[in-house]
Amino acid sequence: MQINYIQHEEIDKSSWDETIRLASNGNLYAYSWYLDVVCPGWDALISPDYNLIMPLTGNKKYGFHYLYRPMLSQQLGLFSQHLPTKEELAAFLEAIPSKYRLIQYCLNKFNHPEESFDFILHDSFELDLNADYQDIRKAYSDNHRRNIKKTVTAKLEIVQDLQAKVFIEMLTRDTSPGSQILSSKKNLRQLSELIDKMQNHKALQIIGINNQERKPIAAVLFGHSHNKWIYLIPINSKEGKEKRALFAIIDRLIQTRAGYNEILDFEGSDIPGLAQFYSGFGAHKIQYPEIRINTLPWPIKYLK
């Protein structure tokens, strides 16, 4: 099998995006316009006909090249119209240039590495939306039903399409660790650009919650691609937590998309508390692999 290492400026992005659009395992993170924002200058491994493609999200530190998972990009790996075989995946992994001395790279759930590769499995949760809403709701935990009822009692207002500007303002005020990371100067600039790109490609929806004073107290940015809604960025204020606002937002997304041949992807989690939150909506666990290779010289290999 011929596999070419293609540097960023030589990638035919039109052909690339067409492959991702048609890929049986395609996802939002793998589109060229998405990668351009979260990992500027990314390279790729590509078969001559662009039938098999794999983004290489790299960077350089201490003079060494490495592969990593970019911001808001849970699963990358090998993509194709047919589901890539273990043999094809092995060939692409072996074709990663040796200049990448550290590899911490997440594949997608349809990529299954041979046991000879060093990898770990991460948990994520997905909910099938192709049933009637009432049938989906029957699988909610009792605790989740109670929390959704609290939002009704609190007379919260759901904003079906929250403005991106309001969402960004909420993010910068949020003190949670995840929001603080995203609202750093560099990341906030990238996030703002990414939201613009996603809006241009009709690949997002932002659902918010207002309190009785019409003040926004919680919001979720959902990505959308390949019949999948991705729980990408949640924001929750102290009042939002008290009134269980995120429960209502997720329930609203489920209500509006129930009956469609789609999936709600919760994008995690290995953390037991979050796993319980996601599974409480009836979501089932899936796993995706992360390749880990470290050929850095001592003592650099032990530095973060």
Dump pLDDT digits (tens) for 191-248: 999 999 999 999 999 999 999 999 999 999 999 999 999 999 999 999 999 999 999 9
What's the whole-model pTM score? 0.95
Phi, psi dihedrals of residue 119, rounded to the nearest 5°: -150, 160
Is residue 223 in a domain? Answer: yes
Average pLDDT over residues 10-34: 98
| Domain match, 188 and 216 both | yes
* CATH label of the domain that carries residue 44: 3.40.630
* CATH label of the domain that carries residue 254: 3.40.630.30
| Domain match, 138 and 257 both | yes
Q: Please state, in angstroms and rounded to a whole number, the distance separating the CA atoms of residues 116 and 127.
A: 32
CA distances to 41, 134, 212, 233 from 38, rounded to whole Å, are: 10, 38, 37, 15
pLDDT for 270 equals 86
| Domain match, 49 and 142 both | no
* Of the candidates 219, 238, 210, the residue with the CA atom closest to the CA atom of residue 168: 219
Is residue 270 in a domain? Answer: no
Question: According to the 3-state scheme, what is the secondary structure of the chain?
Answer: CCCEEECHHHCCHHHHHHHHHHCCCCCHHHCHHHHHHHCCCCEEEECCCCCEEEEECEEEECCEEEECCCCCCCCCCCEECCCCCHHHHHHHHHCCCCCEEEEEEECCCCCCCCCCCCEEEEEEEEEECCCCHHHHHCCCCHHHHHHHHHHHHCCCEEECCCCHHHHHHHHHHCCCHHHHHHCCHHHHHHHHHHHHHHHHCCCEEEEEEECCCCCEEEEEEEEEECCEEEEEEEEECHHHHHCCHHHHHHHHHHHHHCCCCCEEECCCCCCHHHHHHHHCCCCEEEEEEEEEEECCCCCHHHCC
Is pLDDT at 93 greater than 70 in this prediction? yes
Burial of residue 266, with CB atoms counted within 10 A of its CB: 0-12 exposed, 13-18 middle, 19 or more buried:
buried
- pLDDT tens digits for range 53-66: 999 999 998 889 99
| Domain match, 241 and 297 both | no
| Domain match, 27 and 118 both | yes
| Domain match, 148 and 247 both | yes
* Of the candidates 57, 149, 143, the residue with the CA atom closest to the CA atom of residue 105: 57
| Domain match, 117 and 147 both | no
| Domain match, 135 and 254 both | yes
Is residue 295 in a domain? Answer: yes
Q: Please state, in angstroms and rounded to a whole number, the distance separating the CA atoms of residues 96 and 84.
A: 17
- pLDDT tens digits for range 231-241: 999 999 999 99
pLDDT for 130 equals 97
Q: What confidence category does residue 154 fall into, taking pLDDT thresholds of 50, 70 and 90?
A: confident
More reliable by pLDDT, 300 or 176: 176
| Domain match, 148 and 103 both | no
Is residue 273 in a domain? Answer: no
| Domain match, 200 and 239 both | yes
pLDDT for 304 equals 54
Is residue 13 in a domain? Answer: yes
Amino acid sitting at position 143: N
Count of domains in the chain?
A: 2
Q: What confidence category does residue 80 fall into, taking pLDDT thresholds of 50, 70 and 90?
A: very high
Is residue 185 in a domain? Answer: yes
| Domain match, 69 and 153 both | no
Average pLDDT over residues 114-133: 96
| Domain match, 82 and 179 both | no
Q: Please state, in angstroms and rounded to a whole number, the distance separating the CA atoms of residues 139 and 258.
A: 13
Is residue 50 in a domain? Answer: yes
pLDDT for 288 equals 98
Containing structural domain, residue 77: 4-122+288-302
Is residue 205 in a domain? Answer: yes
